[in-house]
Chain A
Amino acid sequence: MHNSSESIRSSEPTQEFLTFTLGQEEYAIDILRVQEIRGYDQVTAIANSPAFIKGVINLRGAIVPIIDLRIKFNLAAVTYDQFTVVIILNVLKRIIGVVVDSVSDVIALDGEAIKPPPEFGSTFNTEYLMGLASVEERMLILVDIEKLMSSDELTLIDHSNT
């Protein structure tokens, strides 16, 4: 993973994205939402929760929920090994950890490189997609992580309470 500070941010609509893989697909999320990346640690399971909510961890004193997108999106092989990575996100004034297969890169994309998403054909509901981009023959799926995390599907947020 390259250091994100290498590229120069400007007022142009160039955005930096963190790319990660889930199964066969490569995804990208806005790097500014990423607080840190860490290995997968033991979690404390939370009762009465769907399977993709792995539980909570102690992140330097904060109780942080960990969700496994691979379980949520029914990807075949869900393993936890030394390569399993947790992306700690800072979205909606919350800290949320997301388990992914691996984190690959930080890339800069300008507005033109991002194509609108197709209507269907992705693991994600297109509602949560910002678009698609091709980088070196690979296709990246740009996810609006904030929207995804606040979706009712993930039940991460108690909408009645907030």
Chain B
Amino acid sequence: MNFGMNQFLGVFFEEAEEHLTSLENLLLTLDLQEPDPEALNGIFRAAHSIKGSSGMFGFEEMTGVTHVLETLLDQIRSGQIRLQVEMIDVFLEARDVLSQLLDNYRAERPPVDVPVAAVSQRLQALIERYSPNNQATPTEQAYGLFDDESPAAADQSEEAYGLFDDEVSQPAVATEQDDKDAAYGFFDTPPQPQGETEPSPTVATQPMAVAKPGPKTTPVGTEAESSSIRVSVERIDSLINQVGELVITQAMLAQLTSALDPGEHERIFQALNQLDHNTRELQEAVMSIRMLPISFIFNRFPRVVRDTANKLGKQVELILRGEHTELDKGVIEKLTDPLTHIVRNSIDHGIETPAERLAAGKPERGTVRMSAYHQGGRIVVEVSDDGKGLSRERILAKAKEKGIAVSDDMPDSEVWPLIFMPGFSTAETVTDLSGRGVGMDVVRRNITSIGGRIDINSAIGLGTHIAIRLPLTLAILDGMIVEVDKVHYVVPLTYIVESLQLKAEHLYSMSGSSSSVISVRNEYLPLLSLHSLLNLATEPPPAVGSIVLILEAEGNTFALQVDELVGQQQVVIKSLEQNFRRIDGITGATIMGDGSVALILDIDALPRLAGQGVANHA
């Protein structure tokens, strides 16, 4: 039995985490006046399932907390106790304790400093304070299983065990239910023995199910109306790699056959067309495996907003839109921190206190809006608030203080990005929420590191709007292929502002240095050459008449001289570090249609490589 336990432990952790997440979401959306019975049931089921499975693994602290939690929830569910505001707070606290316990169990640490007892006591106190008849039948209510008077309740708790199927499924949680049932097969377990004094007909069916030979696998098979399976990310990535190879091979075939006479080899061309079509579809299908709905991160924000607003004494409503927009898992993971930071900033610095808002003629309650949608092959995630907006004067003052070259008549579009400069914070008071050293510069760095862009717009008194444009996936990049010294390099399209052919009147040489400056529309930009940046053996061709790309990276705008623009293409990103090491100025490599390798330039690093402080130009 023990050999299997570790394996199921992993599943337990994942499942428990999902339950905690759904518990939190349900709690936060709960209507205090008229709690939705389905939501209450959902909360109860989540607690109940965690209790059952944690008991099976001997996580006593967790079982203890969930037991009290479940007891209280059950009484609320059955209408014996009315839901109170303070309960939600304690429930959320309990959820946090459970989540900490889970982390401890996972790290195999004894959960010593987790306030298990404190939260259990607070829950117990709530039961005692509000329960009309807790003296009478404490144990029975604790389980809900024996509650003959409310057969509906009994049904639901059974369902939580996954023994019975969706026949009684609840529409509100129907999709989650599918998932749970299959997963629960692993953890089917009779209720905890403690306090179970009287035999009950309901309980009798459960040992039967558990005693079935191989109960660990069969329930999954038979109850697998669930339409999802867990697969490790490595396997999916290897699949994606293989398909990437296939795409390259297909491109090679297309190139090889391009010399053939289509009339003579009609059937080959037909077959190739078919192959082209199939590989494209296969690639799309495989890529979609890695895609997750953005609700994965959006779902944590009701809590972030609630906690932040409470702490600051502000009233904030969060509106989420487009939660079903899908993004690559890698992008999603890297988006969580920046988004959290932006939202906290919005509430801390953007949204005013209720009094200020009323004085400004706005509703007392501020609004933070988060939305996600597709736009031209990219994903746009927006965070906007109806707060006081950015203060142009303060930003400019701060910039001057920091020694950044600014002028008072700069357009807004150049003022706002200043807040992304390192060490830039205009907060009057540093709170423990925002000014914790992770500034907007880190936010922007995180976003650009996943190939995204962040734009900011603000109007005083009306609010601030931040848009993050992200690639659909980390595995593919839109690139401009450039040729330098007969070698192809890829410049990520997101950095390119424009490309132009240099004329003599654009060019100015700087005395005392070999570098030059070009003037484009009254802006002076340093001219960099890949020849010198990458220590190529040959000398760059004369700058006049050559093609330059105007690039913008981390607030620096500069011009990069290349020999030729080859074309725009989507490339599959391959790691250089897997078999080699990091190279300065290169972020990775890709394989071109002819099977050769092209390097992807690290545009962010180029100004640094140039060894000169490129003038900060936002």
Contact = CB atoms under 8 A, between A and B. Distances in A.
Do A and B come together as binding partners? Answer: yes
Given A44-B598, A48-B585, A49-B583, A63 B248 contact: no
Given A48-B534, A56-B576, A63 B597 contact: yes
A37 to B, nearest CB: 17
B135 interface: no
Interface in A50-77: 55-58, 60-65
Interface string B578-599: 1111111110010100011111
A42 interface: yes
A133 interface: no
Nearest to A162: B581
Contacts of B535: 47-48
B575 interface: yes
B589 A63 contact: yes
B487 interface: yes
Interface in A144-162: 155-158, 161
Nearest to A45: B487
Interface in A117-162: 155-158, 161
Given A48-B535, A161-B581, A60 B245 contact: yes
B487 A58 contact: no
A81 B455 CA distance: 53
Contacts of B533: 47
A76 to B, nearest CB: 21
A95 B579 contact: yes
Interface string A2-31: 000000000000000000000000000000
A62 B242 CA distance: 11
Nearest to A61: B245
A63 B582 contact: no
Contacts of B242: 61
Contacts of B577: 158, 161
A96 interface: yes
Contact of B579 (A42, A44, A96): A96
A156 B581 CA distance: 6
Interface in B85-108: none
Given A57-B597, A61-B245, A63-B589, A47 B579 contact: no
Contact of A44 (B244, B245, B575, B599): B599
Contacts of A61: 241-242, 244-245, 248, 574, 591
Given A57-B597, A58-B591, A47 B583 contact: yes
A46 interface: yes
Given A61-B591, A158-B577, A161-B577, A48 B598 contact: no
B578 A44 contact: no
Interface residues of B, number: 31
B460 interface: no
Contacts of A63: 574-576, 578-580, 589, 591, 597
Contact of B534 (A47, A55, A62, A94): A47
Contacts of A47: 530, 533-536, 583, 585-586, 599
Contacts of B582: 158, 161
B581 A46 contact: no
A126 B298 CA distance: 59
Instruction: Kindly name the residue among A43, A46, A49 whose own CB sees the greatest number of chain B CB atoms within 10 A.
Output: A46
A155 B579 contact: no
A43 B598 CA distance: 10
Contacts of A55: 597
Contacts of B578: 62-63, 94
B586 A46 contact: yes
A44 B481 CA distance: 15
A51 to B, nearest CB: 10
B584 to A, nearest CB: 6
A63 B578 CA distance: 8
Contacts of A64: 579-580
From A45, A57, A156, A158, residue with most partner B Cβ within 10 Å: A45
A94 to B, nearest CB: 4
Contacts of A56: 576, 580, 589, 597, 599
B585 A44 contact: no
A157 B580 CA distance: 6
Contacts of B241: 61
B579 A158 contact: no
B581 A157 contact: yes
Contacts of A158: 577, 581-582
A7 B547 CA distance: 60
A155 B578 CA distance: 14
B550 to A, nearest CB: 22
A99 to B, nearest CB: 15
A143 to B, nearest CB: 20
A67 to B, nearest CB: 10
Nearest to B572: A61
A62 B536 contact: no
Listed residue (B576, B579, B582) with the most chain A CB atoms within 10 angstroms of its CB: B579
Contacts of B595: 58
Greatest chain B CB density within 10 A among A47, A94, A161 is at A47
14 contacts: A44-B599, A46-B583, A47-B535, A48-B535, A56-B589, A58-B591, A63-B575, A63-B578, A63-B589, A94-B580, A155-B581, A156-B581, A157-B581, A158-B581
Interface of B: 241-242, 244-245, 248, 487, 530, 533-536, 574-586, 589, 591, 595-599
A-B residue pairs, 10 tightest by C-beta: A47-B534, A158-B581, A44-B597, A65-B580, A61-B245, A94-B579, A63-B589, A58-B591, A95-B579, A63-B574
Given A43-B597, A63-B591, A94-B578, 6 more contacts: A48-B535, A61-B241, A61-B245, A62-B574, A95-B579, A156-B581
